[in-house]
A = this chain, B = another copy of it.
């Protein structure tokens, strides 16, 4: 296969013709496949099933202090659950509040608290200010951006690099007092799959924002989600760096077991400094009595500690590796020779990021959809759903069965080639016509 950029217009026309025929064959297969969302599949979920046998008798429902988890109380979560989630977040148990089942909901609630009342160090609720801005390293997680959009904030895209957000840009932007926060998925970032470098974490911890209650929203959703156990990325501990910098209040930490135990039925946690935790407890106390402590207890008893979590995640990784390999093999085989796309091999997380030729992502995703393969909407990984270069595609291979991932990845590659081939052909024909 010749790289597309080196093909003559005639060769391109021929290639596009062949691809169209292959595409028609796929279309006639009546596929119904989905590589769109980072969901676990049934086999993964089966791994945590013994959890449901753990709480049986009345005595089983007492937490380690003897508190009956079937009753109201303990806003901050039971001690054993705070300890477990603290291990995942690398925070002390008293730096953690365990909430309901959704970390997204906790993030939403924290943004809501900032909006209504601000955070320690600030000047009160952000609602009183003309403009509130939030930094959105992009490509990033669409649901993060949507939360801050929902509150009417202005979303500022910050370029993602191979080692994290462009910190030169971030350092400059936080000089604006209207900038109240930044969304980060620091490990196996959604969708880039990269982990923030030590330097990025250190620069993050040493930011000097104009807003006294600027907060880093540190969503460590994939903290323990290595694809090759023991060979995973190491993320520097932001809280330790913040403490060194004398700025322990500058970040809020989030995680959940949605992609460890059960999606949407796990336990979620928010972490932070003593001042932040006190602030959150004060405000959470007005909206709820506590999270579901029975589910907290079930999780704490089942996983016990970090060793329990890690040995569980090894089993998940064994199920996930073939799916990631199926996609990466297809990309290598079908796209590498064409030179119209680039990607990275993540060492963990839920996504493989694919960059195609500028202006070809939307067309690729549309072609996939027409042939029965749903991809995350092109642009979704950018604020306002707008990828300025129209080139990023998020591949989520975890939910489908491996043979379906293989099929979907082959079709995806075909669609990338077709979209890019068409575009190059069009450009070549235009050049011929105008004689340029």
Interface residues of A (CB under 8 A from B): 37, 39-40, 42, 45-46, 49, 52-53, 55-56, 58, 68-73, 100-102, 104-105, 108-109, 112, 116, 127, 143, 146-147, 150-152, 258, 262-265, 283, 286-295
- A58 partner, pick from B42, B109, B151, beta carbons under 8 A: B42
Contacts of A55 in B (CB 8 A): 52
- A286 partner, pick from B68, B147, B264, beta carbons under 8 A: B147
CA distance A434 to B295 in the complex (A): 66
Q: How far, in Å, is A255 (CB) from chain B's closest CB?
A: 15
Given contacts A49-B58, A112-B112, A264-B293, 15 further A-B contacts (CB under 8 A): A39-B73, A42-B68, A70-B263, A71-B264, A72-B263, A72-B264, A100-B100, A101-B291, A108-B288, A109-B287, A116-B152, A127-B127, A150-B287, A263-B289, A264-B292
A-B interface, 6 closest residue pairs, ranked by CB to CB distance from nearest: A108-B287, A265-B294, A45-B70, A72-B263, A150-B286, A105-B288
Q: How far, in Å, is A130 (CB) from chain B's closest CB?
A: 13
Q: How far, in Å, is A133 (CB) from chain B's closest CB?
A: 17
Q: Is the CB of B58 within 8 A of A286?
A: no
Identity of the chain B residue whose Cβ is nearest the Cβ of A58 in the assembled complex: B46
Contacts of A52 in B (CB 8 A): 52, 55-56
Of the listed residues A104, A127, A265, A288, the one surrounded by the most CB atoms of chain B closer than 10 A to its CB is A265
With A58-B46, A112-B112 already in contact, the answer to whether A292 and B100 are too (CB < 8 A) is yes
CA distance A101 to B99 in the complex (A): 11
Contacts of A42 in B (CB 8 A): 58, 68, 70-71
Q: How far, in Å, is A40 (CB) from chain B's closest CB?
A: 7
CA distance A408 to B288 in the complex (A): 28
Count of chain copies: 2
Q: Is the CB of A289 within 8 A of B102?
A: yes
With A262-B294, A292-B264 already in contact, the answer to whether A105 and B287 are too (CB < 8 A) is yes
Contacts of A56 in B (CB 8 A): 52-53
Contacts of A101 in B (CB 8 A): 100, 291-292
- A295 partner, pick from B49, B116, B265, beta carbons under 8 A: B265
Q: Is the CB of A287 within 8 A of B100?
A: no
Contacts of A288 in B (CB 8 A): 102, 104-105, 108
Q: Is the CB of A295 within 8 A of B295?
A: yes
Q: How far, in Å, is A99 (CB) from chain B's closest CB?
A: 9
The 24 listed contacts between A and B (C-beta, < 8 Å) are: A39-B71, A39-B73, A42-B68, A42-B70, A45-B71, A69-B265, A70-B262, A71-B264, A72-B258, A100-B101, A100-B292, A102-B288, A104-B288, A104-B289, A105-B288, A108-B287, A116-B151, A147-B287, A150-B286, A264-B289, A264-B290, A264-B291, A264-B293, A265-B292
Contacts of A152 in B (CB 8 A): 116
CA distance A291 to B104 in the complex (A): 12
CA distance A329 to B102 in the complex (A): 46
Identity of the chain B residue whose Cβ is nearest the Cβ of A151 in the assembled complex: B116
Q: Is the CB of A292 within 8 A of B292?
A: yes
CA distance A357 to B109 in the complex (A): 43
Q: How far, in Å, is A104 (CB) from chain B's closest CB?
A: 6
CA distance A49 to B57 in the complex (A): 8
Contacts of A265 in B (CB 8 A): 69-70, 292-295
Q: How far, in Å, is A187 (CB) from chain B's closest CB?
A: 20
Q: Is the CB of B290 within 8 A of A146?
A: no
Q: How far, in Å, is A151 (CB) from chain B's closest CB?
A: 7
